[in-house]
Amino acid sequence: MAEVVSPITRQVTKGSQENVTCFVDINLRDVEDCLIYDRHGVSIPFKTLYQDRKSVIIFVRNFLCYSCKEYVDDLGKIPREVLEDAEIRLVVIGQSAYHHIESFCLLTGYPYEIYVDPGRRIYQKLGMKREETFTDSAQPSPHVKSGIFMGQIKTIWRAMTSPAFDFQGDLHQQGGAIIAGPGSKVHFSHLDMNRLDHMPINWLLQLAGAQQTIDFSHKPKIIHI
């Protein structure tokens, strides 16, 4: 008889979707009433994001981080029909002040929901790391195109040329991804170990129920499987 895997959070390596390395106990009730803010500074409880439907929620490091920018570039390329067909809600959460949201969306072309948690309360309560860990077996994000040196140069340049010279969030804070809802049910979770440790977007979409695979190599297109 096959082993029954609990739908609670699973931390999965990028070597294989089936290779479960550890369980991370995330209880959304700990963060459901934490406030997040939209681009206008209007606050809503975090639980609003996943109460009514299944949501893929991506936490990024900071809006100036080159790897986060390039990851969100690709999130913005997801065809709306992929999300609508699977009834998935896609949300990005950052940790800057809300007034940085508009420029970040213009820069990345990201058209879906985005909020900020400027006090990092949700990041902290969900156990997201505040340091980077690199391992020999780690595979870099397929969505990050820049090398570390050039990426850091891009980050510093964007900070220097932004209207308000700041790094739009804690530079040491790492992000992660969860799939949750409806209700407080957590289907999957990944806590980033470092700036390159993003979950491949196609994996997240498929774990959330999407039937299509997207080719992000150049111009995005749907591959029917």
pLDDT digits (tens, 9 = 90+) for 8-53: 333 344 444 444 334 456 889 999 999 999 999 999 999 999 999 9
Cα–chain-centroid distance for residue 96? 15
Residue 193 lies in a domain: yes
* CATH code at position 61: 3.40.30.10
* Long-range contacts at 33-37 (CB < 8 A, ≥ 24 apart): 34/117, 34/121, 34/122, 34/125, 36/93, 36/115, 36/116, 36/117, 36/122, 37/98, 37/115, 37/116, 37/117, 37/118
- Identify which of 117, 118, 115, 121 has the alpha carbon closest to the alpha carbon of residue 101: 115
Residue 123 is assigned to a structural domain of this protein: yes
d(CA 95, CA 173): 9
In tens, the pLDDT along 174-223 reads: 889 999 999 999 999 998 877 667 889 999 999 999 998 898 875 555 54
What is the mean pLDDT of the segment spanning 111-117? 97
For the entire predicted model, the pTM comes to 0.77
Per-residue burial over 116-145, b if 16 or more Cβ lie within 10 Å, else e, is bbbebbbbeebebbeeeeeeeeeeebbbbe
Residue 12 lies in a domain: no
| CA dist., res. 110 & res. 83, Å (int) | 14
SS3 61: coil
Domain count, the chain: 1
Residue 165 lies in a domain: yes
Question: What is the span of the domain harbouring residue 108?
Answer: 35-131+141-208
Residue reference for tokens 């969100």: 72
Q: Is 148 domain-assigned?
A: yes
At residue 170 the predicted structure's pLDDT band, cuts being 50, 70 and 90, is confident
Q: Which two tokens stand for residue 204?
A: 């997240």
pLDDT over 80 at 63, yes or no = yes
Q: CB-based burial of residue 15 (10 Å sphere; 0-12 exposed, 13-18 middle, 19+ buried)?
A: exposed
